[in-house]
Amino acid sequence: MPLYSDIGSRLAGPSGIQELMDDTGSALTTHPDMRMLGGGQPAAIPAVQKLWRERMQVMLDDGSIDKTLLNYDPPGGNPVFREHFAAFLKRECGWKVTAENVAVMPSSQSACFLLFNLLAGDTAGKKRRILFPLLPDYIGYANQALSEGQFTACLPRIAETAPHEIKYHVDFDRLRITPDIAAMCVSCPTNPTGNVLAQNEFDSLHALADTHGIPLIIDNAYGHPFPGVIHNGFQPQWRPGMIFSISMSKVGLPGARTAMIVADAPIVKALSNMNAIVSLANGNLGQALLLPLLKDDTLIKLGPQVIRPFYRERSDFAKSVLASALGDKVPWALHAQEGAFFLWLWANGLPITAKELYDRLKERKVLVIPGHYFAFGLENEWRHPHECLRLTYSQPRNTVQEGLEIIADEIIRSF
């Protein structure tokens, strides 16, 4: 076996996101009988698929597909796309941005990797860190640091909001911005829990970041302005000094691997330069598919009229299945359904770990994600996520129902 560098070992070793994607790939290809309740795969929504098929047909008919597939764009994105995306944000969201505030990247995942290592790590002889103010947070962040101790995190305040329902809040009594903090990052709606920041939490995080002169990174993969799977209407606003990530994946284009970063011009330029080194350029297809929809109201209506209602109905259905299957047989709770595509299930006092539960469920042809992968940057062990599972309800209803009933049965057996 070759000797890997320290950075190589960090990136090449096992990780939660690697396990997730391996399981997802296997379930979708070599094990079609597996009930896939673990990935972030968007659902096949007929109206959304119809939209992208129509866009591709237009590109085939007018010949623009040839230019799209044949040419390289600048590493920061197609200049025309950036202009129109900035205009879209200004018109639809009221954000005071120009093309200089927009960088196109090959996925928000890769953008966050570059951002975390641009802003934090070994800096002029000191260690700078990224602070995650609201755990649990996205599994894909956990292994992106290129140096030891580059991430730190704050535990949430857990509130009981209804029978069998909880909500995580930022615990501002615990949150500390020390001189080594280079930036804060939070996904909203949060992957894995579907938590949406309250307006006062968003404002307070921004005020803290602004006071300390650090960026606040908001990962909007599931939220504002699209696909808009936020059930309480929250629409966070970009302000100078902030960094927003907006993904095309959850409007039915995960295969296009395209995201937009909205940030101050120096950050945009730095990301563009980094992208030239690691990726040369972005994929053109996602930008070409989306471009005409930035000029009218098609895209801004797609979320509230099509995508959000679909997931709201699926969320209510999945919740009712679990409630019926678990009843009051064991102590359990779901995170309040505020957005995104997931259920976050807490089996309070689970006698085994979520990883052991994951292994048992896999034997029964159900794939989930154990909760401990979403808790990182901590100095001390936190038992709570070892009692939690992230579950997706994007798959067909019968698959979701069968999978959730098996999960409930296995949890009951474990107590």
Does 364 fall in a domain?
Answer: yes
**Pair (150, 245) in one structural domain:** yes
**Pair (41, 91) in one structural domain:** no
**Pair (144, 255) in one structural domain:** yes
**Pair (296, 306) in one structural domain:** no
pLDDT tens readout for residues 343-384:
999 999 999 999 999 999 999 999 999 999 999 999 999 999
Tell which wins on pLDDT, 253 or 20.
253
Whole-prediction pTM value? 0.93
Residue 20, phi then psi, degrees to nearest 5:
-60, -50
**Pair (254, 199) in one structural domain:** yes
% of the chain at pLDDT higher than 90: 82
Is the pLDDT at 40 greater than 80? The verdict is no
Q: What is the mean pLDDT of residues 323-337?
A: 96
Is the pLDDT at 26 greater than 70? The verdict is no
Domain end residue (candidates: 300, 324, 354): 300
pLDDT for residue 124? 86
pLDDT for residue 392? 93
Does 187 fall in a domain?
Answer: yes
pLDDT tens readout for residues 283-298:
999 999 999 999 988 9
Q: Name the pLDDT band for 20 (thresholds 50, 70, 90).
A: low
Q: Name the pLDDT band for 6 (thresholds 50, 70, 90).
A: confident
pLDDT tens readout for residues 89-110:
999 999 999 999 999 999 999 9
**Pair (322, 401) in one structural domain:** yes
Is the pLDDT at 334 greater than 90? The verdict is yes
Range from 30-34, 36-40, 129-133, 318-322 carrying the lowest mean pLDDT = 30-34
Range from 12-16, 116-120, 151-155, 197-201 carrying the lowest mean pLDDT = 12-16
Amino acid at 111: A
Tell me the CATH number at 307. 3.90.1150.10
Tell me the CATH number at 230. 3.40.640.10
Q: What is the mean pLDDT of residues 62-84?
A: 94
Domain end residue (candidates: 258, 285, 300): 300
**Pair (110, 205) in one structural domain:** yes
Does 54 fall in a domain?
Answer: no
Average pLDDT value for the chain: 93
Is the pLDDT at 187 greater than 90? The verdict is yes
CA–CA separation, 170 vs 206, rounded Å? 13
Does 377 fall in a domain?
Answer: yes
Contact 49, 250 (CB under 8 A): no
CA distances from 39 to 10, 16, 292, 368 (A): 23, 12, 30, 8
The CA-CA-CA angle for residues 355, 359, 363, to 5°, reads 165
Neighbours of 94 (CB within 10 A): 10
pLDDT for residue 2? 80
- Look at the chain and report how many structural domains it folds into: 2
Q: Name the pLDDT band for 212 (thresholds 50, 70, 90).
A: very high
pLDDT for residue 132? 98
Does 65 fall in a domain?
Answer: no
pLDDT for residue 39? 77
**Pair (182, 257) in one structural domain:** yes
Name the residue with tokens 């970063």: 261
Domain of 326, in residue numbers: 6-48+301-414
